[in-house]
Structure 1
Amino acid sequence: MNIQIDTMIYGGAGTAPLPDGTTIAVPFTLPGEHVTINGHNEVSAILEASPDRVPAPCPHFGPCGGCQYQHATYPAQTRIKQTILHKTLATTGLTNLPETVIHTAEPWGYRNRIRLRVAIVDGTLRIGYNRRGTYEMLPIVACPISAPLLLRAAEAVLAAAAATQTWDRKLNEIELFTNSDQSSLQITFFLRTEKAIDLKAFCTQLKFTIPELAGAGITIVGESGRKDQPGANWGAAGLQYRAAGRDYWVTRGNFFQVNRFLVDALIALVTADRTGTLAWDLYAGVGLFSRILTETFTTVVGVETIVGDLANVLKGSTHRAVGSTVLDFLRMAILQRERPDLIVMDPPRAGIGLEACELLGRIQAPQMVYVSCDPVTLARDLKAMVDSGYTIQQLHQVDLFPQTFHMETVVLLTRLP
């Protein structure tokens, strides 16, 4: 079938209208392209290519499930994401929006964290990702969106594991995390069993080929519905991550923003020129925003289910880290009639949710900053907040995930007293 792509949708595919009035989604296409598709709705021939189409630099692009936009120029990628954001917001009636400001940086080598599968393939120990749309492992030799140190370290782990009689058959996955300048590295080894494993000896050997290695830990992979269990540790429990001119301690395995080139810009968007008496940082993580807000607010309250690294940031008599779900915290705040000057929210992909939006509408903070990694849940939550009296003052797209369909949005909401 020959079709013409007319628009892009969230998830990375292009769509085309069919004669019966339905639409079809085709991956790895671009607006305006004429293509031939096969019975699996995949491109078999490009009849007329978009001027924005470029050769993908990664040899695994297409079969790999990680990237969706390597076939597009980088300016085209950001335009596509902006269009998708506006269309998604419009589905809930949010059309009268401020101009979207786009923030970009180097679109390659940006990831400070990757998680790789490990398996013996054709008699050789290999690393890889999932094949697109499956749980089948795709062995890889390159990953141009990751910090160079990470793949170099992963290859060193393979070489060291292959030389043993235990690690090569017990490794299931590895997660590697580095700081912005690649001077320090943490590794988590996901093993099927810890029996006959000597982590200290293994890491001591790795240190010769990966001098950046600061610490490592083992996680035993749960089977038959069982949860993963922590195992042995070696070296430091985390690393120092420099961002916005400050040092953050990030414990191994804890969440930190993945783009090492745009963290400073994200922090500035959320915290710059914001002052007052009381600020809340909901879904605070390691305190990325809390740390800066303590310099301009008398009291900062950070909320996270596990407050480990956050508690180190919010020290002192006026600041506090609260171990709680956001919903439970907001319910209690309603009872106590607290009203902060600023609320910062950086939820997971599920968003804040309608109950939390309703509670925030009752609290009536004069300013809120919503950091979102999913436009669909963002649209739902913004509509609820606008209906409760808030106005969208600023709209920013921070492209933390180049070459992929994922997008980060920062929204400033205000309301009159």
Structure 2
Amino acid sequence: MRLQAGGPVHGGYTIARVDGRVILVEGAAPGETVEVEIDESEKLWKGIVTEVIEPSPDRVPHVWDTAGGAELGYLRRSAQLAWKTAVLEDAIGHLGGPLQGHLKDAGLNVRVREVGPGLGTRTRLDVDVDEEGRLAMHARGSDALVAIDHMPLAAPAINDILGSQDDWAGTWRPGDRVRLVAPTGQGPVVSVGKDVYKAPGRKIGARVVERAAGYSWEVTATGFWQTHEKAPVTLLDAVLKGVRLRKSDRVAEFYGGSGLFTLPLTDQARAVRMWEGTAASVRDAERNAPKAEITRASITPSLLASGSEGADVVIADPSRAGLGIKGATALAQSNAQAIALVSCDPAAMARDVRAMIENGRSVMSLAAFDLFPHTIHMEVVTILS
């Protein structure tokens, strides 16, 4: 089917309308005339671009079409930022209820900001090992593996490993899952199962060192850490300055991970309590922030309510699913003077912030960052009073 792509929407699609039917189009730039192959298996049709008839001036040679991991790699960087801003605005408009008017009344603009260059910034890359023993990634939208010897989004140290796989012969086997890590505080490592290598045949401990904003963390190589090399300092700056942290403040932190926020918080606040559900992350956080009171727990609305009691500042960095309406309501109803919500999904953010506004909170700032260049993802930091 030939059609014209409209504006972008959540999930990496543009919207097209043909004979009254809405079609989600993958691989098109807004305004382009394209030919698509239609998937009619679901009620909402989806189309994948097979040919570009009239290209957008924003279309460029794809930075990484060898495999998945760069859904927007066919757009120039400025167009990617405009795409993500439009998706964020759409989420706020459709799911945010009073949030859109609230932001307008407060004079707060919605804009996704660029953070550093689009290539060579990714400090972690998870790959599979194919039947030939080569490191590989899945082709986009497929279970098929494609062997790779470079990945332009990854840090140079990771590409050095990809390009010298023969030197690592015997380190991994077909079917293994391998993580390549380029920590900011030490040299690169390769993680295979429970083993971590600094060089072929040279094992080291399970943790790597990350540094940002004058602090150092030890993080399990297979655990969670922000992938963009500038993400830690960007998020620390947005959160700690946003809540206007004072030395006398008591802080409640939820979904604290390995202690990205926890460590600086213990240096800059009176007392810090942190909750995290993953055992390995809790062990890392206890090592990184020994002054904090850290608890391993499943984070529920009731825990958010009880944990935020007596806190002057609340910080929450949930998974892509967000806090949920009940969780957001629990935090909004606390006595905290400031709440920082770090969201990696614009739809979840809009829903959660809406619930907070409807429970009496006001947005002081909303900052969105492109910490996942060439992909559809973004990070949003919302500060509420």
Structure 2-normalised TM-score? 0.87
Supply the distance in 2 between the matched residues of 1:204 and 1:258 (Cα, whole angstroms).
19
Q: Does 1:141 align with 2:116?
A: no
Q: Does 1:66 align with 2:40?
A: no
- Aligned pairs for 1:112-131 (under 5 A) are 112-120=123-131, 124-131=132-139
Deviation of 1:342 after TM superposition, in Å, equals: 0.8
One-letter code of the match for 1:264? V
Q: Does 1:26 align with 2:25?
A: yes
- Counterpart of 1:228 in structure 2 is none
- Counterpart of 2:44 in structure 1 is none
Contact 1:100 1:394 in 2 (8 A): no
The structure that has the greater radius of gyration is 1
Supply the distance in 2 between the matched residues of 1:266 and 1:293 (Cα, whole angstroms).
13
Distance verdict in 2 for CA 1:370–1:84, change over 3 Å:
same
Distance verdict in 2 for CA 1:39–1:205, change over 3 Å:
closer
Distance verdict in 2 for CA 1:31–1:261, change over 3 Å:
same
Contact 2:8 2:15 in 1 (8 A): yes
- Counterpart of 2:303 in structure 1 is 329
Q: Does 1:152 align with 2:160?
A: yes
Contact 2:89 2:110 in 1 (8 A): no
- Counterpart of 2:324 in structure 1 is 353
Q: Does 1:267 align with 2:236?
A: yes
Contact 1:112 1:146 in 2 (8 A): yes
- Aligned pairs for 1:299-318 (under 5 A) are 299-305=271-277, 306=279, 307-316=282-291
- Aligned pairs for 1:326-405 (under 5 A) are 326-327=299-300, 329-333=303-307, 338-405=309-376
Supply the distance in 2 between the matched residues of 1:205 and 1:30 (Cα, whole angstroms).
42
Supply the distance in 1 between the matched residues of 2:57 and 2:187 (Cα, whole angstroms).
41
Contact 1:33 1:46 in 2 (8 A): yes
State the superposition RMSD in angstroms: 2.2
Supply the distance in 1 between the matched residues of 2:172 and 2:273 (Cα, whole angstroms).
46
Supply the distance in 1 between the matched residues of 2:288 and 2:51 (Cα, whole angstroms).
54
Q: Does 1:173 align with 2:142?
A: no
Which moved further from structure 2: 100-109 or 249-258?
A: 100-109
One-letter code of the match for 1:25? L
Contact 2:305 2:334 in 1 (8 A): no
Contact 1:6 1:14 in 2 (8 A): yes
- Counterpart of 1:55 in structure 2 is 61
Q: Does 1:255 align with 2:224?
A: yes
Supply the distance in 2 between the matched residues of 1:3 and 1:279 (Cα, whole angstroms).
52
Q: Which runs of 5+ in 2 are unaligned?
A: 40-46
Deviation of 1:333 after TM superposition, in Å, equals: 3.5
- Counterpart of 1:100 in structure 2 is 110
Deviation of 1:177 after TM superposition, in Å, equals: 1.6
Q: Which runs of 5+ in 1 are unaligned?
A: 192-198, 208-212, 214-233
Supply the distance in 1 between the matched residues of 2:317 and 2:338 (Cα, whole angstroms).
15
**Could you say what secondary structure the match of 1:395 adopts?**
strand
Deviation of 1:55 after TM superposition, in Å, equals: 0.9
Deviation of 1:236 after TM superposition, in Å, equals: 2.1
Supply the distance in 2 between the matched residues of 1:399 and 1:118 (Cα, whole angstroms).
30
Q: 1:9-49 CA deviation, whole Å, 9 max, x = no partner?
A: 12222221111x12112211111111122345222332221
Distance verdict in 2 for CA 1:38–1:353, change over 3 Å:
closer
Contact 2:255 2:317 in 1 (8 A): yes
- Counterpart of 1:37 in structure 2 is 36
Supply the distance in 2 between the matched residues of 1:260 and 1:46 (Cα, whole angstroms).
34
Contact 2:275 2:296 in 1 (8 A): yes
- Percent of aligned pairs sharing the same letter: 27
Supply the distance in 2 between the matched residues of 1:168 and 1:391 (Cα, whole angstroms).
52
Q: 1:39-74 CA deviation, whole Å, 9 max, x = no partner?
A: 4522233222111111113351xxx22111111110
Q: 1:263-312 CA deviation, whole Å, 9 max, x = no partner?
A: 21211001124224201121111111112222221001111123211112
**Could you say what secondary structure the match of 2:177 adopts?**
strand
Q: 1:243-272 CA deviation, whole Å, 9 max, x = no partner?
A: 111111112222111100332121100112
One-letter code of the match for 2:37? N
